[in-house]
Chain A
Amino acid sequence: MGVMRALSMPAMLLAFGAGWGLNPAWAAGAPATAGSPDAAGPPDADETERAERWKELQHALFGDRQIQDGSAWLGIDAPARALDAALVPVSLTVKGDRAIKGIYLVIDNNPGPLAGHFIFGPQGDPHSLKLRVRVNAYTYMHAVAETRDNQLFAAARFVKAAGGCSAPAGADEQQALQDIGHIKVRLMQPFAAGKTMEAQLMIRHPNFNGMQMNQATRLYTPAMFIRTIDVSYNGAPVMHLDSDISLSSDPVISFGFIPPQKGQLKVLVRDTKDSTFGQSFDVPAPAG
């Protein structure tokens, strides 16, 4: 159980249930269009400002590259109102068989807006990604998919949550650092050669973002967060993630991969202290 003590079932069910099991908009496959509000959207008065923010971010992140509306096949989902701003579940999906190079997750109104950049390897399957993020203010989130022919497509979703970036890591920093780097992988389907399997990756890491104040000492906890996660299967890349301070502490990331035969899934995590944590997992998982 080691690692997963940190993610007990009620918390997990709460986080995942709210985001992925029960959201009707998601089930109906009704993603919001890029830059315009969906049913759960904000009042119109703020829309201009939000659109301008997104324009500014597009420039900062992608320069002059054109970004097309991908909402017909690119999905981004999150609870319209998050229970815990420090643990907002986000789900990114790709429909159809477009060749996807990578996906950017942008949380528009976070001070560090680029929450993550996923790059898919030959053994990766871009159709479904899930992760949990911190949200600092009511915001649009944008998924930007980059196709292998270098086109960019975006889809958006509005989320009401605030304060996730300065939420303290907990009463006790030391405890948050316990078991740091423990990694666990859960395979969500039985093994079948050549078929996509969904894996849930759980990493024990406080991901301190430098904005959390320790009320007892009145000092800010120094930032220490995960920079990259690499997943490979029998040596071939599955997924690379450049992450940032917007990733929640004790990250949980679900992704797809395609195992051509039985083998080993390897996870390598590197943080800002240049500590690396790695672990390999048998696929299929050993019985018992």
Chain B
Amino acid sequence: MCRRLRDSAPALLLWGCLAVGAGALGAEGAAEPEGFWEGNVDAPTPSTLHGGTVVHVEDVGTLLRQGQAVVIDVSNTPRRPAELAPGAPWLPLPHRAISDALWLPGVGAGALSQEVDDFYRSRLERATAGNFDVPLVVYCHEKCWLSWNAAKRAIAYGYRRVFWFPEGIEGWTAAGRQTLVVLPQGPAIAVQAPITESPAPDGRLPALAVLDLELTGDLGGPEFEAEHAARLKTESDRLRQDLQGTGLYRILDNSGAQGMIDTLRSQQAYLHDCNGCDLDVGRSLHADQVMVAWVDRVSGLILSLTYEIHEVQTGQIAARKSFDFRGDNNNAWNHAIDYMVRDLAKK
């Protein structure tokens, strides 16, 4: 960042002064790139968007009052770095958006995966009932290229009334306009959703260590070994992300106890059934609770997912539940994990 500043210090200073002085981007904004912008997303943006209309707070207010416009927020979601020290608080603010905006993180990147591109296209289609004349208002933050890209992309999809709001949520808020808390939608929700539920009554989230999923029952023979190992790994990560996303727990990074986990694994068939050895892992991570979860594979079709949450202090089972599901494949596992976490969060 230092380098960014050094390389562009005079330009940045000039821009900064303009922004402060005029409260808006002047004609000195960056030039429109040919395609989508693939550089730094937090950088001065152009003052124009070819094929679209640049709007400011008042115009957005008018569009909202007219009642047809679909407002799209393309801000990124905050992600908790796994390397954050266990115990370091991670409390992203609830995401506030303009009115009832659709929050579609990721659709403003310089290049999209097919999946995200398809999602954006179909989400817009749904929101506009396939009418390309419905006005779209696209924004993220001030000095943020994501909204410029996403607006340009909507124009390319064929929308004829695309309004780009470069001042973003900061400009909107500074003008004293209303905001609403919204949840992200789409496949590019980076790792986790923001906290949507209030923390425990005493204000401290319980620190939860989540051990990797384990597979029991009929493992299907050696030809399934690699597939299962990979699935246990990705689904364990998914489980942690889902749990983090509930805002009910502070999910700990297990790497601090990796040595211990590896040793236990070499000695025990299953850490979810090892006379409380999971509590030792929890203790060494300073966890309040440990979650063990496993999939029992009756056959390639019939499986069940079970979790237990143990109190590290007392060893007591704080929660336990099983869920049956069908199909030993990524999709079915994904659904089972997501369902389980949603169910757990409802309590």
Interface residues of A (CB under 8 A from B): 6-8, 10-11, 14-15, 43, 45-46, 53, 56-61, 63, 81, 83-87, 109, 111-114, 136-138, 160, 162-171, 175-176, 209-211, 213, 215-216, 218, 220, 222-225, 227, 242, 244-245, 248-250, 272
Interchain CB contact (< 8 A) of B76 among A113, A166, A224: A166
Complex contacts, B173 vs chain A, CB 8 Å: 46, 138
Knowing A59-B204, A162-B141 are in contact, say whether A11-B2 is a contact too (CB < 8 A).
yes
Interchain CB contact (< 8 A) of A60 among B81, B89, B93: B89
Nearest CB to that of B89 among chain A residues?
A60
Q: Is the CB of B144 within 8 A of A114?
A: no
Q: Is the CB of B176 within 8 A of A45?
A: yes
Which 5 pairs between the two chains have the least Cβ-Cβ distance?
A59-B203, A210-B81, A223-B81, A111-B92, A272-B83
Q: Is the CB of B42 within 8 A of A85?
A: yes
Interface hits, B82-120 → A, CB 8 Å: 82-85, 88-93, 109-111, 113
Interface hits, B47-105 → A, CB 8 Å: 76, 78-85, 88-93
Q: How far is the CA of A6 from the CA of B202 in the complex (A)?
A: 45
Q: Is the CB of A11 within 8 A of B204?
A: no
Q: Is the CB of B203 within 8 A of A111?
A: no
Chain B 139-151 against A: per-residue CB contact (8 Å), 1 yes, 0 no?
Answer: 0011110000000
Q: Is the CB of B5 within 8 A of A14?
A: yes
Q: Is the CB of B89 within 8 A of A114?
A: yes
Nearest CB to that of B109 among chain A residues?
A218
Knowing A57-B89, A162-B141 are in contact, say whether A224-B83 is a contact too (CB < 8 A).
yes
Complex contacts, B1 vs chain A, CB 8 Å: 84, 86-87, 167, 169-170, 248-250
Q: How far is the CA of A216 from the CA of B78 in the complex (A)?
A: 20
Complex contacts, B110 vs chain A, CB 8 Å: 215, 218
Complex contacts, B81 vs chain A, CB 8 Å: 209-211, 223, 225, 245
One of B7-15, B315-323, B326-334 contacting the partner: B7-15
Interface residues of B (CB under 8 A from A): 1-6, 9-10, 12-13, 16, 20, 37-42, 76, 78-85, 88-93, 109-111, 113, 141-144, 170, 173, 176, 190, 199, 202-205
Complex contacts, A245 vs chain B, CB 8 Å: 81, 84
Knowing A163-B143, A211-B78, A215-B40 are in contact, say whether A244-B170 is a contact too (CB < 8 A).
no
Q: Is the CB of B109 within 8 A of A215?
A: yes
Q: How far is the CA of A173 from the CA of B248 in the complex (A)?
A: 35
Q: Is the CB of A6 within 8 A of B42?
A: no
Complex contacts, B41 vs chain A, CB 8 Å: 166-168, 213, 215
Nearest CB to that of A224 among chain B residues?
B83
Q: Is the CB of A113 within 8 A of B20?
A: no
Q: Is the CB of B39 within 8 A of A215?
A: yes
- A52 to nearest B CB, angstroms? 11
Please indicate which of the listed interface residues B37, B39, B142, B173 has the most CB atoms of chain A within 10 Å of its own CB: B173
- B129 to nearest A CB, angstroms? 31
Q: Can you give 19 contacting A-B residue pairs, CB < 8 Å?
A: A6-B2, A56-B199, A60-B199, A60-B204, A84-B16, A87-B1, A111-B93, A114-B89, A162-B170, A163-B144, A166-B76, A170-B4, A209-B81, A210-B82, A213-B76, A220-B190, A225-B81, A227-B85, A245-B84
Q: How far is the CA of A6 from the CA of B6 in the complex (A)?
A: 8
Q: Is the CB of A11 within 8 A of B6?
A: yes
Complex contacts, B204 vs chain A, CB 8 Å: 59-60, 63
Complex contacts, A175 vs chain B, CB 8 Å: 3
Q: Is the CB of A138 within 8 A of B190?
A: no
Q: Is the CB of B6 within 8 A of A138?
A: no
Q: Is the CB of A249 within 8 A of B38?
A: no
Q: How far is the CA of A272 from the CA of B111 in the complex (A)?
A: 30
Q: Is the CB of B5 within 8 A of A87?
A: yes
Complex contacts, A113 vs chain B, CB 8 Å: 89, 91
Interchain CB contact (< 8 A) of B91 among A60, A210, A216: A60
Q: Is the CB of B203 within 8 A of A215?
A: no
Nearest CB to that of B198 among chain A residues?
A56
Complex contacts, B76 vs chain A, CB 8 Å: 166, 211, 213
Interchain CB contact (< 8 A) of A83 among B13, B83, B205: B13
- A213 to nearest B CB, angstroms? 7
Q: Is the CB of A10 within 8 A of B6?
A: yes
- A80 to nearest B CB, angstroms? 10
Q: How far is the CA of A63 from the CA of B42 in the complex (A)?
A: 36
Complex contacts, A222 vs chain B, CB 8 Å: 83
Q: Is the CB of A60 within 8 A of B203?
A: yes
Q: How far is the CA of A259 from the CA of B40 in the complex (A)?
A: 44
Q: How far is the CA of A85 from the CA of B43 in the complex (A)?
A: 11
Nearest CB to that of A10 among chain B residues?
B9
Complex contacts, A136 vs chain B, CB 8 Å: 78
Nearest CB to that of A172 among chain B residues?
B3
Nearest CB to that of B13 among chain A residues?
A14
- A229 to nearest B CB, angstroms? 14
Q: Is the CB of B203 within 8 A of A170?
A: no
- A172 to nearest B CB, angstroms? 8
Complex contacts, A272 vs chain B, CB 8 Å: 83
- A14 to nearest B CB, angstroms? 6
Complex contacts, A223 vs chain B, CB 8 Å: 81-84
Complex contacts, B89 vs chain A, CB 8 Å: 57, 60-61, 112-114
Nearest CB to that of A251 among chain B residues?
B2
Q: Is the CB of B13 within 8 A of A53?
A: no
- B167 to nearest A CB, angstroms? 11
- B143 to nearest A CB, angstroms? 7
- A157 to nearest B CB, angstroms? 18
Please indicate which of the listed interface residues A10, A11, A86 has the most CB atoms of chain B within 10 Å of its own CB: A11
Q: Is the CB of A53 within 8 A of B93?
A: yes
Complex contacts, A84 vs chain B, CB 8 Å: 1, 5, 12, 16
- A85 to nearest B CB, angstroms? 7
Q: How far is the CA of A244 from the CA of B113 in the complex (A)?
A: 32
